[in-house]
Structure 1
């Protein structure tokens, strides 16, 4: 058991090294030993026994895993669904309540039955869902961040470039070069803020902008239509996280590798606040209305309120260290977060997701893998779905696990043979309501949900003929956007 834990620890260290924005020769040598360590761990792992191996397992003792395989990469088909468990942390005292009346009990039972029926229907629909996967090839290093704007996917990479992709045709539209260090983060300002900047630059009102942060200590603002950098902000620190606050005149919030949170005016691009808020690198910044959430490598989470002031607009509401969030555990960590109401979902390289009640600091956890060797890299929400990515240290397989919101009940898992590690995620929906996702990491892949209409049957027949599918996607994109093009 001691050797297994040592191997797991070494593999975790290597996996963390692999996604660093820059590597030393010594670190590259350590990474070269990954296959050897993984092979040794695979030999020892079947000898283990204990409760760690039973998380998320159901069935007749055959130890079915939470993740399921798909036959072909072009159509990832969700498998049978084992439940994930939600485990409360800490000692909570509950007050004894009076027993409800029979009428109230009947009403509650009816509501519960209706809710359960809705969940059963939702789970059944996701079990039948199909996705077509299309790789976007062009980066020559890991993809660290992705965003989606209309029918475009924008990706940032350790190779220092930002690329713009046209999704319907799966082609590279623009290669935005200008950073001298790896690109670490991206965000897209809302259209109304893009229009303000476009007018000030005498550009078209339909111009869209993307913000990119980099290890070269800069934030660049790119105009997508003309494919140029229109503004560069020097931050004096490596930028490791980034978001846009859509309040007042608008703000850019950045996080640095030293734990600093900085705020920049969208009007003047001047710095209006700098706070040493975290002990280590800020690895995730997200917004929810006037609130800003920042997470750091040591596992801490800070919650800020935007007061729309010209100077010092962010006011700290809460700070929960790694000892509270349960995401601590040493240097080199990578926390990603996704807020929803009073909860924040946290991913921190563990076999589960953490759920932080940010107002009072209470936590719970949601199983995201059936083995303790599973690593959760990112968490994302879209509509009524919570999606967590998982990477198995032992065999190198990756999975997307889907949960229903707000109850966080397990729906299904999506994977395919030799699926690469997924480090970042973005989502959007088509005019018909179908899901479109993009995952980044070792590969950049677009996930296209296939509808149950005739179009799906067409894809099944002609799925191997890529040019026909690309034409079909292009015409569908034209149909969905013809109104905005004529306006």
Structure 2
């Protein structure tokens, strides 16, 4: 079993090496052994597999323990968390619904007298309570019927895939604007694609370092900038951040950079906050979060917010969420001020989130109301209830060798990418929101690892997605009628269905998984650490991804 874990560890390291640009001869030799290591791992898994479990998937018998816990536990009621647009108006209600475990413990501690009165049974049940129970039961039946219908529809879903060819390196970020897809790559370019024809529309060259992040301001904010530049009021703009320390603003129709902001730090994440005159929020490889005015393009605030590189920044109304390589998550409130607009509401360290992956880690986040979905390179999606710090996790892969690189929400769907480093299989897992119940998995032959994701819907309500990584691929949902054959295979993983949502009360598996990623036997680690110090302390996540 020890050799199995060592092989899994080496394969995970090789996958991280492959996304580097410059490789040493030693690193190239390690990558060349990937097929050999996968073959040896498959052989060991076959030898060690038994009627009770497959050790290559389960690992040390822990799957059986988790399976017993799931079977013994009562079925959890689906969360009733309201949509993000209503969360600030119903804060107290959402807090109670988003953290059922603490509420249950409080009832256990302080509700003894009430339980005693119920057990005595000296008074008849209140009619209103009976009506309320009946309404709840009816609501649950209706919710279950809706979920069953949704699950059945996704089991029949079909997608046609189209490859967008043009980038010379890994695609690190994508956004969708109308019928256009905009992608950024380590090859330093930003490309604009016309989706209906799957052709390159514009090649936006100007960055001197790898492009790490993109953002699309809403149309009303684009109109303000277009007016000030004497451009058409239909002009759309895109923001791009790069390792060259610049944020560039591009006009898509003319394909030109209309503004460049030098940030003095390698930009690793950014988002646009559509409040008041608008703000650009950037994250740097050194952990700094900065706010820039959309009106003047001047720096409004600089905060040393995280210990390592900021790998994700997202906005939700007046709130800004930032996540970092060491696993920390910060929640900020935008006070719409010319100076220091961001006020820290909460900060949760990597010890709380359980997402610490070391300085080379990568955390991406997707907020929804009081919850933030966290993808952190493990087999789970973590869920942080950011008002209380309560954590739960959503199973996103049936194998401990699975990694989750990104999470995205579209409509009533949560979509998590998963990649198995042991066999190279890649897929997208779909969950219903807000209950986070597993729907289906989508995959196709030779699917590459998915590092970024964007989604939108057509006028007829069908889904269109774009995924980036080694390949840039557009997913177009096919109509249910007709005899068209889709490129995507829809399947269901019973292991994901049986143990999808878990509390963070028992984190043994998570701790062991973290240990798996730390290769104390890797002879090159010390050399990389020394190199990091010589580089002046810049974030190693950025060097790993965009070096």
Q: TM-score, normalised by structure 1?
A: 0.84
The equivalent residue for 2:282 is: 254
- Aligned residues of 1:16 and 1:332 also touching (Cα < 8 A): no
* CA displacement 1:265-319 (0-9 Å, x = unmatched): 1111111111111111100000000000000000100000000100110000000
Matched, 1:208 2:239: no
Q: 1:410 to 1:51 in 2, by over 3 A?
A: farther
Matched, 1:42 2:54: no
Query: Number of matched residues?
Result: 432
* CA displacement 1:355-384 (0-9 Å, x = unmatched): 000011010000001110110000000000
Q: 1:7 to 1:436 in 2, by over 3 A?
A: same
| Structure with greater Cα Rg | 2
* CA displacement 1:411-451 (0-9 Å, x = unmatched): 00000111100000000000110000000001111111112
Q: Which runs of 5+ in 2 are unaligned?
A: 49-54, 69-98, 119-124, 488-547
The equivalent residue for 2:508 is: none
Secondary structure in structure 1 of the residue aligned to 2:406: strand
- Aligned residues of 1:52 and 1:372 also touching (Cα < 8 A): no
Matched, 1:419 2:444: no
| Offset at residue 27 of structure 1 (A) | 4.4
Greater percentage in strand: 1
CA RMSD of aligned residues (A): 2.5
The equivalent residue for 1:161 is: 189
* CA displacement 1:337-369 (0-9 Å, x = unmatched): 000000000000110100000011010000001
The equivalent residue for 1:228 is: 256
The equivalent residue for 2:381 is: 353
Q: 1:197 to 1:281 in 2, by over 3 A?
A: same
Secondary structure in structure 2 of the residue aligned to 1:387: strand
**Equivalent in 173, 190, 199 of residue 201 of structure 2:** 173
- Mapping for residues 92-111 of structure 1, pairs under 5 Å: 93-95=105-107, 96=111, 101-111=129-139
* CA displacement 1:459-486 (0-9 Å, x = unmatched): 459x9xxxxxxxxxxxxxxxxxxxxxxx
The equivalent residue for 1:382 is: 410
Query: Matches of 2:103 and 2:15 in 1, distance apart?
Result: 34
* CA displacement 1:86-122 (0-9 Å, x = unmatched): x999997140466774333222221111111111011
- Aligned residues of 2:365 and 2:374 also touching (Cα < 8 A): yes
- Aligned residues of 2:325 and 2:357 also touching (Cα < 8 A): no
The equivalent residue for 1:277 is: 305
Query: Matches of 2:67 and 2:160 in 1, distance apart?
Result: 28
Matched, 1:444 2:472: yes
* CA displacement 1:131-188 (0-9 Å, x = unmatched): 1111111111110000000000000011111110000011111111111111110010
The equivalent residue for 1:11 is: 11
- Mapping for residues 36-435 of structure 1, pairs under 5 Å: 36-46=36-46, 47=48, 48=55, 50-53=60-63, 93-95=105-107, 96=111, 101-435=129-463
Q: 1:439 to 1:118 in 2, by over 3 A?
A: same
Query: Matches of 1:432 and 1:180 in 2, distance apart?
Result: 40
Secondary structure in structure 1 of the residue aligned to 2:404: strand
Query: Matches of 2:250 and 2:231 in 1, distance apart?
Result: 12
- Aligned residues of 2:242 and 2:268 also touching (Cα < 8 A): yes
| Offset at residue 53 of structure 1 (A) | 5.0
- Aligned residues of 2:311 and 2:325 also touching (Cα < 8 A): yes
Q: Which runs of 5+ in 1 are unaligned?
A: 59-86, 464-487
Query: Matches of 2:348 and 2:154 in 1, distance apart?
Result: 35
Q: 1:32 to 1:256 in 2, by over 3 A?
A: farther
Query: Matches of 2:102 and 2:377 in 1, distance apart?
Result: 21
- Aligned residues of 2:261 and 2:297 also touching (Cα < 8 A): yes
- Aligned residues of 2:158 and 2:485 also touching (Cα < 8 A): no
Query: Matches of 1:107 and 1:232 in 2, distance apart?
Result: 57
* CA displacement 1:178-221 (0-9 Å, x = unmatched): 11111110010000111111111111111100001111111111
Query: Matches of 1:160 and 1:116 in 2, distance apart?
Result: 48
Q: 1:410 to 1:209 in 2, by over 3 A?
A: same
Q: 1:29 to 1:88 in 2, by over 3 A?
A: farther
Q: TM-score, normalised by structure 2?
A: 0.75
